[in-house]
Amino acid sequence: MATLTTVTVPVPRSDKGEATRAAIATAAQALFLERGYDKTTMRAVAERAGVSLGNAYYYFGSKEHLIQAFYDRIQVEHTAAAEAALAHETTFAGRLRGTLTAWVDVAEPYHHFAGKFFKVAAEPASPLSPFSPESAPAREASVALMARVVDGADLKVPATVRGELPELLWLAQMGVVLFWVHDSSEGRRRTRQLVDRAVPLVDRLVRLTRLPGVRGAADDIVALVRSLRA
């Protein structure tokens, strides 16, 4: 007997639904800035957005999901802020430095409560982890931005390295983010110094992968990355 398979077709969100969702996310962002993460409640977000508490939970299942929307918005702002460097810089180092510095600029207003986010995001099972399924849209957008850094640069590297480089650069950016969270210097001066000094080293290491003696090691690193992903 043939088995019937039920296919669920996603229902498109209405314009009104998207507007409501955006209003809730905007209200949450404002409250996070005003009160911090711990003192922001779903009820307060609903009141600020002018919707019922049930409606707020309909669009965002928890406060953590509101943070995820916050991440997505920062990623959009980061991409826009990086456009200047990507439009005018042709060197790999210049494009990478401009893109990383753009992230520091965009994230600066949120630094005072970044530590609270990090405590939640550091939990392996947290939806706020940068490696979680829930974080996939922001993660993929960030990797795509790094792909643009590579694609428009004066960079000649083996194809195997080039294919994995955007994700490796995203992982490097995660290291910058971790440093930034703990950076108490004014205007994140130390993070900016880290970017300025680390980028030339990354540029040099990437270009070395063309050399015969280094290419084998580079291929081994690529194989390791792929095996961990699998």
What distance in Å separates the CA atoms of residue 31 and residue 45, rounded to the nearest whole number? Answer: 7
- Report the C-alpha dihedral over residues 124, 129, 135, 140, rounded to 10 degrees: -100
CA distances from 24 to 11, 48, 58, 67, 69 (A): 20, 8, 11, 11, 10
Question: Residue 42's CB: how many other CB atoms inside 10 A?
Answer: 18
Confirm whether 7 is domain-assigned.
Answer: no
Judge if 139 and 33 occupy the same domain: no
Judge if 45 and 92 occupy the same domain: no
pLDDT confidence band for 230 (50 / 70 / 90): low
Confirm whether 1 is domain-assigned.
Answer: no
Confirm whether 80 is domain-assigned.
Answer: yes
Confirm whether 2 is domain-assigned.
Answer: no
Judge if 24 and 77 occupy the same domain: no
Judge if 199 and 224 occupy the same domain: yes
Confirm whether 161 is domain-assigned.
Answer: yes
More confident residue, 191 or 230: 191
More confident residue, 214 or 150: 150
User: Tens digits of per-residue pLDDT, 33-85?
Assistant: 888 778 889 999 999 999 999 999 999 888 888 888 888 888 899 999 999 99
pLDDT value for 2: 40
Q: Is the pLDDT of residue 5 over 70?
A: no
Residue with tokens 């992968």, as numbered in its chain = 209
Confirm whether 198 is domain-assigned.
Answer: yes
pLDDT value for 7: 36
Would you say the pTM of this structure is higher than 0.85?
A: no
pLDDT value for 9: 36
Q: How many domains is the chain built from?
A: 2
Judge if 154 and 183 occupy the same domain: yes
Confirm whether 171 is domain-assigned.
Answer: yes
What distance in Å separates the CA atoms of residue 89 and residue 181, rounded to the nearest whole number? Answer: 28
pLDDT value for 144: 96
Q: What is the CATH number of the domain that holds 150?
A: 1.10.357.10
Q: C-alpha angle 200/203/204, rounded to 5°?
A: 90
**131 is in which domain, residue-wise?**
70-229
Judge if 31 and 145 occupy the same domain: no
